[in-house]
Structure 1
Amino acid sequence: MRPEAQTGHLPVSQSPAVHLPVLYTQVLEGLRVIENGRYLDGTFGRGGHARGVLSQLGAEGRLLVMDKDPDAIAVAQRDFAPDPRVSIFRGSFAQLLQWDETVAGLDGVLFDLGVSSPQLDVAERGFSFGKDGPLDMRMDPDNGQSAAEWINHADEQAIADVLWAYGEERQSRRIARAIVARRQKQPFARTAELAELIASVMPRGKDKIHPATRSFQAIRIHINRELADLEAGLDAAVERLKPGGRLAVISFHSLEDRIVKQYMNRLAKAPPANRRLPEAVAFVPTLDLIGGAIKATDEELAANPRARSAVLRVAQKREAGA
């Protein structure tokens, strides 16, 4: 009898039904879970994908879960810690090489990028322009600079650069100028204040998205170092994968997906030859691509509109020298 049965906890695989996460079936198919394998979910969230992986593991299988959000870790501790097959680590997946549990190698790694639905839905976390709350945006609220601290102190050029680079916001300079002018009168403290300011200076177009969408995305990415963490996490994941192990990454916007696609391609495909240069060392691929960009089905989109922008890419690590 497992410990969770003795303590009154249900095994994770028998937990009450929860809303399935984005691309749930496709992720499990992509990871191709083996019964006694060792898997890492680098973005636990509320454990939807992790439950699916654990349900396919046998008694000797292992599930390692990570998240830098303390609320996510609290859920993991409550629902998963009683299962002896599970280990939990609070931190970014960029730190996975620092976790001793990964040293033995991994049969699969999952990164589900971006902000989670619980983070968006809780106004106090400060991620949503649609729900007024403190202007925070930190996935780990115990570390780093909040969005308000950054917005109220960064110079105009730095703000414009972030909005352009991470939000692809064409009006980045106009918005940055308005932010600096407004904070001189009163510092920003709430999400609604920033969203209203951005909306007030944005030209009215045909685009149906809120005028603050791109700016909020950009600030969140900057505050949480999301793209730098992604690049470090991809390197770490491939280093820890065993030959035959699989890497699955879900992206929600083009900046993330571009990094993932180019990274996988770089390790899977030889670069174009240049006839003017001497022949370089023969290219030895590290990864094999498993299909292309995988997106949600019409059925999933009908049930969960947030899946519309999700893109899953999967790659498998090759045997050394294969």
Structure 2
Amino acid sequence: MNITHRPVLLAEAVTALISGPLICNSSTSKNLLLIDGTFGRGGHTQALLDKLPSNARMISFDKDLDAIAVAQTINDQRLQIVHNSFAQMDQYAEPESVDGILLDLGISSPQVDEAHRGFSFRREGPLDMRMNTDQGLTAAAWLEQAPQEEIARVIKTYGEERFASQIAKAIVNKREEGLSPKTTLQLAALVASVVRTREVGQDPATRTFQALRIFINRELEDLELGLKAALKLLKPGARLVVISFHSLEDRIVKQFLQAHSKVEIPRGLPVREKDLPASALEVIGRTKPSDQEVQENSRARSAIMRVAEKRLGVMA
């Protein structure tokens, strides 16, 4: 199957990064270093490389071996490929050495569309769901051993699924019969047998599959670690661009940016505003895909891009 990935908010993300004061200023264009936290199929990475000078550098991360294989076909000496989570980016760059960081969260089209990866409830395949197939338990293996209460907690927390307890009970009942779900369609059918009502146009298994994918890949934990690492690595004046695809991700990003874009002063202290220390970040704005992009790429419909800039003269 020839599967391509259309990066969401491509032009907007590239523009947001390169329009920052460090990259715009020609006198500081030498030795630029940018980080793409999720290579995917290279859409954002390649678009950024096309805009960068010949002496710039780009580090692109991905946990997915298929993505790494694609990345290694790019013949560009400026590009360094790292098979690791962006949560570990501070192991590959010095503090305040990076001119821009892009985090395009979620999963790529090939991961969903290739049945053997186990991410899709519409295609029959092994219930894997690991982004990095070199490590960790598959979703099937985890469901085979996890306690019912833990399965319910994961589905409710990461899928915001109100039928989480019923789904977990059904999974454990099947497991006790020796029929624990091993494939995507087996799990989807099991969930559908329990979830009787659902939003119009949404498959009953949507939230459960999202929850298991997020949990198996530690996506929210990686996001929290990655945001902290990004703040440490960014130079003053450099920008952070984050594209999220569901409310759990966006909530973490929004709260992180808010927490680092204001200074908390205990109530009652006689401090004037001009005497307050500068916050670490300035929030630049929030962008959603255009109606045209959503029409052309349905996976863009829930995307939100948030942009922040490291304040000049502020140490993280």
TM, length-normalised to structure 2:
0.90
* Residue pairs, 1:240-319, within 5 angstroms: 240-271=233-264, 274-275=267-268, 282-291=276-285, 293-319=286-312
Q: Residue 215 of structure 1 aligns to a residue in which SS?
A: helix
Identify the residue that residue 28 of structure 1 maps to in structure 2: 14
Tell me if 1:66 matches 2:61: yes
* Residue pairs, 1:19-168, within 5 angstroms: 20-32=6-18, 34=23, 35-36=29-30, 37-79=32-74, 82-99=75-92, 101-102=93-94, 105-168=97-160
- In the TM superposition, what whole-angstrom CA distance separates every residue of 1:246-282 from its partner, at most 9, and x where no partner exists? 000000000000000000011002347534x897x94
Q: 2: CA distance between counterparts of 1:136 and 1:229?
A: 19
Q: Residue 15 of structure 2 aligns to a residue in which SS?
A: helix
- In the TM superposition, what whole-angstrom CA distance separates every residue of 1:73-121 from its partner, at most 9, and x where no partner exists? 1000012xx211111111000011112x456711000111111111001
- In the TM superposition, what whole-angstrom CA distance separates every residue of 1:156-193 from its partner, at most 9, and x where no partner exists? 10011011111100011011101100111212210110
Q: 2: CA distance between counterparts of 1:263 and 1:183?
A: 40
Shift in Å at residue 19 of structure 1? 6.1
Q: 2: CA distance between counterparts of 1:32 and 1:225?
A: 30
Q: 2: CA distance between counterparts of 1:222 and 1:317?
A: 30
Shift in Å at residue 231 of structure 1? 0.3
Q: Tell me: CA distance 1:198–1:320, structure 2 relative to 1, closer, same or farther (3 Å).
A: same
Q: 2: CA distance between counterparts of 1:321 and 1:46?
A: 35
Q: Residue 188 of structure 1 aligns to a residue in which SS?
A: coil
Q: Tell me: CA distance 1:20–1:116, structure 2 relative to 1, closer, same or farther (3 Å).
A: closer
Identify the residue that residue 11 of structure 1 maps to in structure 2: none
In the alignment, structure 2 segments of 5+ residues that lack a partner are 24-28
Identify the residue that residue 170 of structure 1 maps to in structure 2: 162
Conserved in 2, the CA contact under 8 Å of 1:96 and 1:102?
no
Q: 1: CA distance between counterparts of 2:172 and 2:306?
A: 40
TM, length-normalised to structure 1:
0.88
Number of residue pairs matched?
A: 300
Shift in Å at residue 21 of structure 1? 1.1
Q: Tell me: CA distance 1:23–1:139, structure 2 relative to 1, closer, same or farther (3 Å).
A: same
Conserved in 1, the CA contact under 8 Å of 2:239 and 2:308?
yes
Q: 2: CA distance between counterparts of 1:316 and 1:145?
A: 37
Q: 2: CA distance between counterparts of 1:104 and 1:315?
A: 15
Q: Residue 89 of structure 2 aligns to a residue in which SS?
A: helix
Shift in Å at residue 284 of structure 1? 3.0
Shift in Å at residue 206 of structure 1? 4.8
* Residue pairs, 1:178-217, within 5 angstroms: 178-185=170-177, 186-217=179-210
- In the TM superposition, what whole-angstrom CA distance separates every residue of 1:199-248 from its partner, at most 9, and x where no partner exists? 01111345320000001000111000000000000000110111111000
Q: Residue 132 of structure 1 aligns to a residue in which SS?
A: coil
Conserved in 2, the CA contact under 8 Å of 1:133 and 1:190?
yes
